[in-house]
């Protein structure tokens, strides 16, 4: 079996199809109706024959219609991306602040704060630009999905041509291992099976046939007389008429869908834009107030007042926010990588924390993407749970015979230790090997001498085995390996083993192999088999039956169809792509966290419902909504349906896109998982696109996050990390803005009450550098609180100041400012000489710095006390605190820098006073937290 591998790509094809392409098929019929035409009609419409086109006709079509490749349109240029990043409100405010801080830098010497602001701006803009530029790569992968060459009929002779030279009317020759290079209508098939999971989401290869279909509205997965660009032939061979190339293929249509999808800003980006504008206006108002007070109340000159006003304006804006944001997102991305989630776009880290709905693919994400035998039943009705299979266990004769019979009737081979073949047959062989029955040994004792291959009409496969080898091997091989039981089924030289759909096998049986003998198969036994098969099928499992009969030499020489009559029933097996063991707990965690899980799959509704029920995604009363159901709904009705539907089956790419859009229109933040090309439009449309690591590169390029282990539980872990990131950003805002409020009070209010401005411009800027820079970065490393995944997600329109943050700023900021004002009154010098005023200002400057350190410890939790969180829980913050204290002490004790900071040397007694003040304020901050912090309650489970 070949596996489709897709290379990197850019995004996307043109929304407009060329006039030349439209002319290929009459517009009244449309390109999606090839499956309802007969093979001969399709050939006639395209001016071709079963012998293919002539070389000259193919050349002319290629000149007229263009090559078989997807059109490429350029995305935003690098300059435009850079401008979009640099023109956000916060960045513009910081640029203005940086310029003003550089011009009016207060004091003398190196403009530390201005340089720090510019460095932050550059870092944020450059990282954002690089991330966005990398996200614009998707059509090259789509273009690389076709084979470099293909076998076609030209002038009646098979020849090899580059796949880009295929034109409508060409007749392709495909066989197992080939990737389909264009959309085609089947002309001839020999047991053809095609893996279309990249386009449809179906986990099983699709059995193909030639006959025309009657329903023109069938989806891609149900057009079984067609093959499509990007799918893979896993079994058999076929002669195929090329009907669509390039942009008009199903793959090209998906590329157009991706092109049409525009990514919106993340919730945090929207909130920060609003915050930046509000803080900008506030900073301007405060700067004007400071200038007015300085000139008209204190009688200072405009030049000196302007420096102070700019400094206060800068103090209002948390210029450390972009750095903390980038730093926190990067650290969150690193933590996610350790948990097997690769973040391609940094803003996605935060958006994950706001996710309200996860639209998850089934195959490989919620399930193991590996067909597995679950149960085996012999003709007597004895059921064996396949999970208990082991070589050391002694099996009853009935189930052991069923396993051996199924294994003999497969085309699975072992290559370099790996089983190669159809996924269903691999599951059968694996189950037998778990019981100790190796196919190599079984075939060695009963070699295959003939076969009647599977086809979709009969739904059967038959292999014929030589019993002479089995009779001789039975005397020399271990009982667990020999096939002597076949002698009971056949007294001839050969035995035919048939497997397939239960109803087809059972209808051809006259006897049953029961307890080592062949007995008559009565209606009661048949009814029991049917009931059991229906029970398993209702549970989403696939049911196969196996039977056998003896063949005489004359019968062996007859046509293969006769080998499948008068069979002896042996048993049944049930199989399924089982749920991942950890997925059930992950779904439960989502419910607890207020995140709704929705399954969207291309699989059969019964299978989807069974898996969803097993995982806890839905209840028994919930019904799966199919793509056919969705096609009848307008947008208004769909918005109503998506609020209650938990399972979607047989959906198309457009319908996945519609589901995501409807959820977003209802106010949900949607994470969408997928691995195929068909998932790419919805991945790009979703707030968070999550691609599987083993999926197509087209899906990965359209996604924000790639799961390296294809595990749904990893999404839940990533959501937790996203919530931690958002919490840390809110902590920083709470910490920074409350401190900024205190600084504004110290500078603006103190002159109004008879004191001088307590802080100089350079002291304000240095304080910002310590708090918004060092301490802020340390807060970005805070770990998750205990209730992180037991509370509801933030709503898209919920402010960053919600859930107590704004209230805390309003209460703590003025409290800190007032307390420091009281200290200022207490220490106000009576003589008011320049030296005494400098000592007074230096003391308050240091008290503010120590208070900010205490504030950082208090802000580590929104609700728990500092005694509960401890002071060593965040070692990075502890290190930043140490650095901040050292720098602050140096600024007020180290003689060479005292003039720069406009400070004087403080005694140890004064430093102790400042530290004591900080501890008193820490106690007050903790009291405010205990009284006013919102009491968090677990979120309601989203599972109506």
User: Which residues carry out catalysis?
Assistant: 361
413-415 vs 383-385, strand pairing mode: unpaired
* Strands annotated E in 179-289: 183-195, 206-207, 226-227, 232-244
Where helices occur in 686-772 by DSSP H, the ranges are 697-702, 712-752, 761-768
3-state secondary structure (DSSP) of residue 899: helix
Task: Report the C-alpha gap between 236 and 188 in whole angstroms.
Answer: 11
User: 910-941 burial by CB neighbour count: b if 16+ within 10 A, else e?
Assistant: bbebbbebbeebbebbbeebeeebeebeebee
Task: Quote the tokens at residue 146.
Answer: 């076709």
Task: Report the C-alpha gap between 12 and 254 in whole angstroms.
Answer: 8
Rounded to 10 deg, the angle between the 423-434 and 397-408 helix axes is 140
596-600 vs 647-649, strand pairing mode: parallel
- DSSP states of 773-826 as a string? IIIHHHHTTPPPPTTTTSSPPPPTT--TTTTTHHHHHHHHHHHHHHHHHHHHHH
149-154 vs 157-162, strand pairing mode: antiparallel
3-state secondary structure (DSSP) of residue 119: helix
Task: Report the C-alpha gap between 354 and 269 in whole angstroms.
Answer: 12
Task: Report the C-alpha gap between 799 and 858 in whole angstroms.
Answer: 22
Quick one: CA dihedral 442, 445, 447, 451, positive or negative?
negative
Q: The sheet that has 670-674: what strands, in order across it?
A: 341-343, 705-707, 688-692, 670-674, 357-360, 596-600, 647-649, 625-626
Where helices occur in 565-707 by DSSP H, the ranges are 583-592, 605-615, 627-630, 635-641, 653-665, 680-685, 697-702
Nearest alpha-carbon partner for 800 in 862, 727, 701, 705: 727
Nearest alpha-carbon partner for 657 in 676, 637, 678, 681: 681
Task: Quote the tokens at residue 594.
Answer: 């207020």
Based on C-alpha coordinates, what's the Rg of the chain? Answer: 36
Residue pair 189/236 in contact by the 8 Å Cβ criterion = yes
């Amino acid at each position: 079996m070949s596996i489709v591998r897709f290379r990197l790509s850019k995004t996307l094809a043109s929304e407009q199809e060329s006039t030349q392409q439209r002319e290929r098929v009459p517009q009244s019929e449309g390109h999606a109706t090839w499956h309802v035409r007969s093979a001969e009609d399709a050939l006639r419409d395209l001016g071709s024959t079963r012998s293919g086109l002539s070389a000259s006709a193919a050349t002319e079509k290629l000149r007229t219609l263009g090559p078989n490749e997807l059109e490429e349109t350029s995305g935003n240029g690098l300059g435009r991306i850079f401008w979009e990043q640099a023109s956000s409100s916060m960045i513009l405010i910081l640029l203005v602040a940086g310029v003003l801080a550089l011009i009016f830098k207060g004091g003398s010497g190196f403009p530390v704060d201005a340089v720090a602001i510019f460095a932050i701006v550059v870092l944020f803009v450059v990282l954002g630009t690089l991330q966005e530029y990398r996200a614009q790569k998707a059509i090259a992968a789509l273009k690389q999905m076709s084979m470099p060459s293909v076998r076609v009929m030209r002038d009646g002779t098979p020849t090899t041509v580059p796949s880009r030279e295929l034109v409508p009317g060409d007749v392709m020759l495909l066989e197992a291992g080939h990737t389909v290079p264009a959309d085609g209508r089947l002309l001839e098939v020999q047991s053809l099976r095609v893996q279309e999971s990249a386009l449809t989401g179906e986990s099983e290869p699709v059995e193909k046939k030639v006959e025309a279909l009657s329903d023109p509205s069938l989806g891609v997965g149900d057009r079984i007389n067609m093959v499509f660009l990007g799918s893979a032939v896993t079994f058999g061979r076929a002669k195929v008429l090329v009907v669509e190339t390039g942009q008009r293929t199903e793959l090209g249509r998906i590329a157009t869908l991706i092109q049409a999808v525009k990514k919106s800003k993340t919730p945090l980006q929207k909130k920060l834009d609003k915050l930046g504008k509000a803080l900008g206006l506030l900073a301007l108002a405060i700067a004007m107030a400071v200038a007015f007070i300085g000139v008209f109340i204190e009688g200072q000159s405009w030049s000196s007042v302007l420096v102070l006003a700019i400094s206060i304006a800068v103090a209002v804006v948390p210029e450390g926010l972009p750095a903390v944001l980038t730093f926190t997102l990067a650290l969150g991305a690193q933590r996610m990588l350790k948990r097997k989630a690769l973040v391609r776009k940094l803003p996605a880290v935060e958006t994950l924390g706001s996710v309200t709905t996860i639209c998850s693919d089934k195959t490989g994400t919620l399930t193991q993407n590996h067909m597995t035998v679950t149960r085996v039943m012999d003709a007597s009705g004895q059921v064996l749970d396949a999970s208990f299979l082991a070589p050391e266990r002694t099996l009853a004769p009935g189930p052991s015979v069923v396993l051996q019979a199924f294994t003999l009737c497969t085309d699975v081979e072992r290559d370099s230790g790996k089983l190669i073949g159809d996924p269903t047959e691999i599951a059968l062989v694996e189950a037998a090997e778990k019981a100790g029955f190796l196919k190599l040994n079984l075939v060695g004792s009963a070699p295959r001498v003939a076969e009647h291959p599977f086809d979709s009409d009969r739904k059967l496969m038959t292999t014929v085995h030589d019993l002479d080898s089995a009779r001789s091997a039975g005397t020399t091989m271990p009982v667990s390996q020999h096939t002597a039981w076949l002698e009971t089924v056949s007294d001839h030289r050969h035995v035919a083993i048939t497997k397939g759909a239960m109803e087809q096998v059972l209808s051809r049986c006259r006897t049953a192999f029961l307890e080592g003998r062949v007995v008559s198969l009565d209606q009661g036994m048949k009814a029991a088999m049917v009931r059991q098969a229906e029970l398993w099928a209702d549970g989403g499992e696939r049911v196969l039956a196996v039977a056998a009969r003896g063949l005489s030499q004359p019968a062996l020489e007859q046509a293969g169809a006769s080998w499948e009559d008068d069979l002896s029933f042996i048993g049944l097996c049930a199989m399924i792509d089982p749920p991942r063991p950890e997925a059930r707990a992950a779904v439960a965690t989502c419910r607890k966290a207020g995140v709704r899980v929705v399954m969207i799959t291309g699989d059969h509704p019964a299978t989807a419902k069974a898996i969803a029920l097993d995982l806890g995604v839905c209840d028994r009363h919930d019904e799966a909504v199919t793509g056919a159901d969705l096609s009848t709904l307008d947008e208004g009705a769909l918005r109503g349906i998506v609020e209650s539907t938990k399972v979607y089956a047989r959906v198309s790419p457009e319908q996945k896109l519609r589901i995501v859009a409807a959820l977003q229109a209802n106010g949900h933040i949607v994470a969408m998982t997928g691995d195929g090309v068909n998932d790419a439009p919805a991945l790009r449309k979703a707030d968070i696109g999550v691609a599987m690591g083993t999926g197509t590169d087209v899906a990965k390029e359209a996604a924000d996050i790639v799961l390296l282990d294809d595990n749904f539980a990893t999404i839940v872990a990533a959501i937790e990390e996203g919530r931690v990131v958002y919490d840390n950003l809110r902590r920083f805002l709470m910490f920074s803005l409350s401190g900024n409020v205190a600084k504004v009070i110290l500078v603006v209010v103190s002159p109004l009450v008879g004191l001088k401005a307590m802080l100089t411009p350079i002291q304000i800027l240095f304080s910002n550098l310590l708090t918004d820079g060092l301490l802020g970065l340390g807060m970005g490393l805070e770990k998750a609180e205990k209730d992180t995944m037991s509370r509801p997600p933030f709503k898209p329109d919920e402010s960053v100041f919600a859930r107590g943050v704004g209230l805390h700023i309003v209460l703590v900021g003025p409290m800190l400012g007032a307390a420091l004002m009281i200290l200022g009154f207490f220490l106000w010098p009576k003589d008011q000489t320049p030296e005494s005023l400098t000592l007074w200002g230096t003391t308050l400057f240091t008290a503010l710095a120590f208070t900010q350190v205490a504030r950082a410890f208090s802000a580590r939790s929104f609700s728990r006390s500092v005694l509960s969180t401890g002071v060593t829980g965040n070692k990075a913050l502890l290190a930043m605190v140490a650095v901040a204290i050292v720098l602050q002490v140096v600024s007020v004790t180290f003689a060479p820098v005292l003039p720069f900071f406009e400070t004087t040397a403080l005694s140890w007694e004064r430093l102790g006073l400042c530290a004591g003040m900080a501890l008193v304020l820490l106690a007050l901050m903790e009291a405010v937290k205990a009284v006013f912090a919102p009491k968090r309650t677990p979120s309601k489970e989203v599972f109506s």
